[in-house]
Amino acid sequence: MQAPGPPLRMPAQTSQERAWTAMAQSMAGMIGVPGRRLSGTGAWRTVIGMRHDVVLYQGEALGRYGFGGGHPFGPDRLSAFLAELARQGLDRAVRTAVPVAATDEALLRFHDAAYVRRVRLQSLSGGGFLDQGDTPAVPGLFDAASHVVGSVLAGAALLLQGEASRVFVPIAGLHHAKRASAAGFCVFNDIGVLIESLKRQGLTRIAYVDIDAHHGDGVYYDFEDDPCVVCADIHEDGRFLYPGTGAREERGRDAGAGRKLNIPLAPGAGDREFMAAFGEVEAFVRAARPEIILLQAGADSIAGDPLAHLALTPEAHRHATKRLCALAGEYAQGRVLAMGGGGYNRDNLAATWTGVVRELLADR
């Protein structure tokens, strides 16, 4: 674990960038609002003249999501990634957008109203936990968590409106949060809010791929019976790692039966095992003919993470991103929204997320 770094300071934006990010901010509240369908043939179609930008959400409001005091999910994670992105010169290849706060209406698409009120009140002064001991209610946490959700929604709106083809939100992918509680460092489930919002826009084939070391239980169980959501999750076997779920036999239920794929890996599994598993994921996602692909690219599956026991290299995440971008090009008009997810070794997450961005940019 590393101590939190200094406050993240972003370079000033140009006038062109300011105008563009203002437009992105205005879109954050649009996706999923009744009566505001997207233009084109069907609610989910993009507008004519799609931009081929890769958009990166970055800024202090996202960097503040973290817990400090030696907590593994510290507020220095974003700055560690951005330093490596700049070192490799990729910061100049992406289009940046400022973080966006979600409205209460957006949060309530997935979360219970009483829980949203509790997070707001408990984070005013801080103190205590929002779960059984993993997720402290630090001051300002409501605002930081709201910016995670809002940035993901804004990024999705850019994709659906044809203003970008790929989006990366590094501090996002909080896949453990439940509708009425926090869990595993996750306050609001940005993925759950996004899926509910995409469904309101008429999407019926949403692919969610999760390669974080921990099973995405907060997404899987809430959409277990939903045929519109195709989930594929590669993770460390739950018999050895939190949250203890995601067995092979869990493939959805009722109307969602057969629309979910869980592939647990044994502790110590490396790239060879991952590549074999991802071949299965790729075939599964292809069969669904997705309209959009969501990737949770947690870096805690890389060898040396303090909270997991897998032994992947960043090449695994690059491979997954490359193959999902290819699938999106075939079926989803190129639309990929990637989220950073977990990862508690700063060198690992910096290298892994930078590799994800490199693949998002590969054919732009």
Residues designated catalytic: 176
Token pair 């989006």: residue = 167
Residue 289: phi and psi, rounded to 5, are 50, 65
Q: Of 196, 155, 227, which is closest to residue 34 (Cα–Cα)?
A: 196
